């Protein structure tokens, strides 16, 4: 988080105004029809995030927590985890601050199965990562905490077992924010990257003031803790490989990560969004990592300044075949869009593509690129909310609770902010943090869930009327990790090509559904689908009919499924 | 004589001296509608003084100021104070709103240019260009206007439009040492892969202001692409050091504020030993004016606390400061 100062002394000289027409408002409206309807009530997801904000304004209280959308019972429909926080000064969660685990019936009707599945976090909750760490076919869960041990929950297919003890994941009370699973060393199992924030102690917090008012502080007043890489031995036991992997030297105020094969060399790279610090781009070189962010142009803003970076995601935003990076930043900073102009060289062009201006009016956290109208390009959703709960006493134009922002991709890499016309879900005004997407109701359109700090989690169903066709792929590795994190899929329809990756992490403290969603536009068939499995194996499938859901086990024939209809056994 | 100074004044004065919000200069006022209302005039004077001294404005003061702003829409004095208040509150959005609720066409050239700068700071580059293009037509050699046009086009990723503006007034930009514009011209060369020209221009900008992170960061990237790892790393280290230095300065300033507020509270709580401790903590690096106030705190606290050694030492220091 960044509290920038603004040099505006020249304003004093602006005194000669008279009456007349106002400057036209540049806010764009949209008739394209992308619409999200608030489905919090109908979904039966009832989640209140409890941050227990105190008058001491302890930093963790304002950070919020994450959300995961993933299929935990293998019925083909994505389920939802919402992480709660609790009380910073207490290791025990207040009874009303439990994490929630919701099972989906495939049609977007959820039931709270936390008790039934023994889903239980403790400590002051932050982030969530998911993946099949023991390769048994069931997606496991990792919960991160402020000053608490990491919690590894093994999914047995009918419940969760806390296997943190003996997992090798440390209990050194570091503040871990985000985490993401991926196969760092290409040995076929899932390793985990842990993002460290700062060394904060509630007993002796810095007291930071704005306009003589105590506010939530920024991380710059604390020592960064550094990130860690934990390697899996294949059965869910982890060993610290931070030093050996080459990432030990980088200590930054980390909040989020996006994991993708950014240089498309067959292994996954990691982009880390650091708060008021240089961002990192770890290029994976056979399990060793090298930070190229500064040289590639994705470390700072265009003027070389560190920003208050909160969230990150990766996509090919302009369809040129090269992956681009989006990073959410502090109020008055843009949501940076780093376009890869040639291999591993980026330029930040958010102002030129229609994102910058409205982004500066918000403090941004969760972020996700996804194809909301199935037209084949990915739109952008950003979760907003300030960190100063007293900001309105210092500003008439900046609010603590803020509406979220939806940018429609309108072609040629351009976006437009259609938040005002994109349905009542975008009218929700809360202090938003974690954000994840997935097709919750099985209608072939991607929906979203947002975890709001001190508020009610929001479930939004995509009710876009004018939409393209789609194909959904549930990939499961055999030689490669079972969750297929790192798989890259290229779909060809006529002369059009769409590429998607199964990403181990993105957004802020959150992870979206691993199933790959292809918007086909008017095409009713994918002519050729090429799957590049982690580890290098390729698989080609031809003539995939649209508007269907497919399960693909590595090397096997595709199987149609209907979300929520029946389990596909591991 | 120091004993005669009310301690309440210390609070506001010391805060003003330490808080590093941008300095204020309100300028002159002349005959002004608000001066016809004695009570309102007094109120605006108090608020204005308070802002200037404390570099802060309380919620109550701001509410009162907004009322005055509504009551006296033609008052330059109120308007200027209102702007000052918005600046110390960091409320650039409201600042823009206030400036654009009246006719832009009727603004003076200077006011239009200032409004363009606000648009720029809010990332409204298209609006910035709309204002500046007519100004540039009238005053094509004005390096500030033309340079700002170039900057705006650059941020809209239209380097081919930005470059001619910079080139049109290039000698003036260099003569006026307008390093931001010069840097962006260099970045355009960099984006166009003209590394030789980029180096030349960025080095020129660096001669004017060697501390620019944008320049040092770009130089690092250019040398890396040229294969000069040593220089690339050197400029990268300079970039990182500059960022670290800025963070350290923010940290130091924030710690000072934290200590000042605690100092004021401890004074109110009559915890005089802690007052002396905090005052001494704040002394290193403080200016003579700040030292005067801090020694006054020590003097008063020492006297109240029976710490005659501290009081005596403070008195000596105050006399020395007065002599200087």
pLDDT (tens digit, 9 = 90+) per residue, A155-164? 999 999 999 9
For the question of whether the overall pTM of this predicted structure is more than 0.95, the answer is no
- Distance in Å, alpha carbon of A18 to nearest chain B alpha carbon: 6
For B180-233, what is each residue's pLDDT tens digit?
Answer: 999 999 999 999 999 999 999 999 999 999 999 999 999 999 999 999 999 999
Supply the pLDDT for residue B91: 81
Measure CA A358 to chain center.
Answer: 20
State the average pLDDT over residues A385-406.
94
Cβ of B91 and A398 within 8 Å? yes
Chain A residues in contact with B250 (beta carbon < 8 A) = 220
Contact call for residues A284 and A11 (beta carbons, < 8 A)? no
CA angle A326, A327, A330 (to 5 degrees): 145
DSSP A451-512: EETTSB-EEEEE--SS--EEEEEEEE-SSS-TT-TT-EEEEEETTEEEEEE--S-BBTTBB-
pLDDT digits (tens, 9 = 90+) for A500-559: 999 999 999 999 999 999 999 999 999 999 999 999 999 999 999 999 999 999 999 999
Tokens 């029976």: give the residue. B306
**Which two tokens mark A306?**
């560190």
Picking from A6, A7, A349, the nearest residue to B157 by CB comes out as A349
For residue range A221-239, what is the model confidence (pLDDT) as tens digits? 999 999 999 999 999 999 9
For CA atoms A294, A298, A302, A304, give the dihedral sign. negative
Spatial separation of the C-alpha atoms in residues A289 and A272, rounded to whole Å: 13
Instruction: With cut-offs at 50, 70 and 90, classify the pLDDT of residue B17.
Output: very low
Name every chain A residue with its beta carbon within 8 A of the beta carbon of B93.
361, 395-398
Return the pLDDT at A29.
37
Q: Are the CB atoms for A88 and A62 separated by under 8 Å?
A: no
Q: What is the DSSP string of B151-200?
A: HHHHHTT-HHHHHHHHHHTHHHHHHTT-HHHHHHHHHHHHHTT-HHHHHH
Distance CA B276, CA B116 (A): 48
CA–CA gap between residue B201 and residue B190 (Å, rounded) = 10
Residues of A in contact with B187 (CB under 8 A): 302
Flag if B87 and A6 touch (Cβ within 8 Å): yes
Chain B's closest residue to A332, CA to CA, is B122
pLDDT at residue A321 above 60?
yes
Q: Model confidence at A18, in pLDDT bands (50, 70, 90)?
A: very low
What integer pLDDT is reported at residue B19 of this predicted model?
31
User: What's the helix, strand, coil split of chain B in %, to 5?
Assistant: 80, 0, 20
B261 and A212 within 8 Å at the Cβ level: the answer is yes
R_g over Cα of chain A: 22
Looking at beta carbons, which residues of chain A come within 8 Å of B21? 5
Candidate from A7, A23, A305 with C-beta closest to B213: A305
pLDDT attached to residue A375: 96
CA-based nearest residue to A289, from A298, A280, A302 = A280
* Nearest one of A325, A310, A469, A493 to A384, comparing CA atoms: A310
- Helices and strands of chain B, counted as H and E runs: 17, 0
Question: Does residue A303 surpass a pLDDT of 50?
Answer: yes
Q: Could you read off the pLDDT of A41-86 as tens digits, one per residue?
A: 999 999 999 999 999 999 999 999 999 999 999 999 999 999 999 9
Confidence of residue B30 (pLDDT cuts 50, 70, 90): low
Assess whether pLDDT exceeds 90 at residue A300: yes
State how far the Cα of A230 lies from the Cα of A181, in Å rounded to an integer. Answer: 10
- Tell which B residues from 129 to 158 touch A, by Cβ distance under 8 Å: 155-158
Stated as kind and residue range, the H or E segment containing B241 is helix B229-268
Q: Is the pLDDT of residue A11 over 50?
A: no
CA of A310, closest CA in chain B: separation in Å?
Answer: 18
What are the start-end ranges of the E strands in A147-268?
151-155, 160-162, 176-182, 191-196, 208-210, 213-215, 228-232, 238-240, 254-260
Helix B213-225, helix B229-268: angle, nearest 10? 160
CA–CA gap between residue A258 and residue A193 (Å, rounded)? 10
d(CA B167, CA A301): 25
| Model pLDDT for residues A269-285, shown as the tens digit of each residue | 999 999 999 999 999 99
Residue A25 has pLDDT above 50, yes or no: no
The rounded distance, in Å, linking the Cα atoms of A30 and A408 is 9
Two tokens at B254? 């924030």
Give per-residue burial for B27-62: e unless 16+ CB within 10 Å, then b. eebeebbbbeeeebbebbeebbebbbbbbbbeeebb
Q: How much of chain A is in helix, strand and coil states, percent to nearest 5?
A: 10, 40, 55
Segment among A126-140, A165-179, A237-251 with least mean pLDDT: A165-179
DSSP state of A283: E
Question: What is the predicted ipTM?
Answer: 0.83
Q: How many CA atoms, within 13 angstroms, populate the side-chain half-sphere of residue A24? A: 6
CA A19 to chain centre: 47
Q: Which single residue is written with the structure tokens 């919620």?
A: B59
Q: Calculate mean pLDDT across residues A396-402.
A: 94
Q: Is the pLDDT of residue B73 over 80?
A: yes
Residue B101: list chain A partners with CB under 8 A.
22
- Please, which residues 163-192 of chain B have a Cβ atom closer than 8 Å to chain A? 187, 191
Q: Quick check: A257 pLDDT over 70?
A: yes
């Amino acid at each position: 988080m960044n509290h920038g100062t603004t040099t505006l002394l020249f304003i004093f000289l602006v005194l000669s105004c008279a009456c007349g027409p106002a400057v036209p408002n540049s806010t764009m409206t949209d008739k394209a029809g992308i619409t999200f309807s608030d489905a919090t009530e109908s979904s039966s997801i009832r989640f209140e995030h409890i941050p227990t904000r105190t008058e001491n304004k302890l930093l963790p209280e304002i950070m919020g927590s994450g959300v995961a959308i993933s299929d935990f019972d293998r019925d083909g429909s994505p389920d939802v985890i919402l992480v709660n926080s609790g009380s910073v000064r207490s290791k025990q969660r207040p009874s009303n601050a439990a994490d929630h685990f919701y099972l989906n019936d495939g049609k977007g009707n959820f039931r709270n199965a936390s008790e039934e599945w023994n889903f239980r976090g403790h400590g002051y909750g932050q982030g969530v990562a998911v993946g099949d760490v023991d390769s048994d076919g069931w997606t496991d869960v990792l919960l991160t905490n402020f000053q608490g041990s990491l919690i590894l929950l093994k999914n047995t297919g009918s419940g969760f077992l806390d296997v943190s003890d003996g997992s090798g994941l440390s209990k050194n009370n570091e503040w871990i924010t985000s985490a993401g699973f991926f196969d760092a060393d290409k040995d076929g199992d899932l390793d985990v990257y842990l993002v460290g924030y700062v060394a904060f102690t509630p007993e002796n917090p810095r007291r930071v003031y704005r306009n003589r008012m105590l506010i939530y502080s920024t991380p710059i007043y604390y020592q960064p803790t550094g990130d860690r890489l934990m390697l899996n031995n294949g059965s869910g036991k982890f060993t610290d490989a931070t030093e050996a992997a080459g990432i030990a030297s980088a200590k930054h105020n980390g909040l989020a990560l996006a994991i993708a094969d950014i240089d498309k060399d067959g292994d996954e790279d990691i982009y880390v969004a650091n708060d008021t610090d240089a961002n990192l781009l770890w290029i994976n070189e056979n399990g060793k990592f090298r930070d190229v962010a500064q040289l590639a142009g994705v470390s700072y803003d265009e003027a070389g300044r560190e920003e208050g970076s909160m969230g990150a995601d990766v996509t090919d935003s302009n369809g040129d075949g090269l992956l681009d990076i989006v990073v959410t930043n502090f109020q008055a900073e843009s949501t940076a869009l780093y376009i890869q102009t040639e291999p591993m060289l980026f330029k930040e062009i958010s102002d030129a593509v229609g994102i910058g201006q409205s982004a500066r009016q918000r403090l941004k956290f969760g972020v996700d690129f996804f194809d909301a109208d199935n037209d084949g390009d990915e739109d952008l959703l950003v979760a907003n909310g300030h960190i100063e709960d007293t900001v309105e006493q210092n500003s008439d134009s900046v609010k603590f609770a803020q509406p979220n922002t939806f940018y429609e991709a309108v072609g040629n890499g351009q976006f437009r902010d259609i938040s005002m016309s994109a349905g009542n879900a975008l009218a929700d005004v809360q202090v938003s943090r974690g954000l994840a997407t997935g097709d919750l109701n099985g209608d072939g359109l991607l929906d979203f869930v947002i975890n709001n700090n001190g508020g009610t989690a929001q479930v939004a169903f995509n009710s876009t009327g004018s939409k393209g066709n789609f194909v959904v792929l549930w990939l499961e590795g055999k030689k490669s990790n079972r969750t297929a994190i790192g798989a890259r899929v290229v779909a060809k329809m006529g002369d059009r090509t769409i590429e998607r990756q199964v990403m181990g992490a993105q957004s802020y403290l959150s992870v979206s559904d691993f199933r790959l969603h292809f918007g086909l536009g008017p095409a009713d068939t994918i002519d050729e689908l090429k799957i590049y499995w982690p580890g290098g194996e390729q698989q080609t499938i031809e003539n995939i009919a649209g508007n269907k859901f497919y399960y693909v086990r590595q090397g096997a024939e595709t199987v149609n499924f209907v979300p929520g209809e029946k389990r596909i056994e591991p | 004589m120091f004993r005669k100074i009310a301690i309440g004044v210390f609070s506001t004065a010391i805060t003003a001296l330490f808080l590093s919000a941008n300095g204020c200069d309100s300028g002159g006022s002349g005959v002004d509608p608000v001066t016809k209302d004695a009570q309102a005039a007094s109120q605006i004077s108090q608020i204005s003084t308070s802002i200037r001294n404390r570099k802060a404005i309380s919620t109550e003061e701001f509410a009162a100021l907004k009322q005055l702003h509504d009551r006296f829409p033609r008052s330059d004095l109120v308007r200027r104070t209102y702007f000052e208040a918005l600046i110390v509150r960091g409320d650039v959005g409201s600042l823009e709103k206030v400036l654009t609720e009246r006719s832009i066409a009727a603004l003076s050239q200077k006011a239009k240019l200032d409004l363009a700068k606000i648009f720029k700071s809010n990332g409204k580059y298209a609006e910035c260009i709309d204002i500046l293009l007519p100004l540039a037509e009238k005053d094509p050699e004005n390096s500030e206007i033309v340079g700002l046009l170039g900057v705006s086009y650059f941020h809209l990723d239209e380097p081919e439009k930005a470059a001619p503006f910079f080139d049109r007034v290039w000698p003036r930009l260099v003569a006026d040492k307008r390093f931001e514009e010069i840097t962006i011209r260099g970045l355009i060369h960099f984006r166009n892969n003209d590394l030789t020209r980029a180096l030349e221009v960025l080095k020129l900008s660096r001669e004017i202001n060697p501390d620019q992170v944008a320049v040092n960061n770009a130089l690092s990237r250019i040398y890396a692409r040229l294969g000069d790892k040593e220089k690339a790393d050197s400029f990268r280290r300079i970039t990182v050091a500059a960022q670290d230095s800025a963070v350290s300065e923010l940290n130091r300033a924030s710690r000072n504020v934290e200590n000042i507020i605690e100092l004021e509270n401890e004074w109110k709580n009559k915890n005089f030993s802690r007052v002396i401790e905090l005052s001494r903590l704040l002394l290193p690096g403080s200016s003579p004016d700040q030292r005067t106030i801090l020694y006054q705190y020590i003097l008063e606290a020492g006297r109240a606390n029976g710490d005659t050694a501290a009081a005596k030492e403070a008195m000596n220091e105050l006399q020395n400061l007065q002599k200087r």
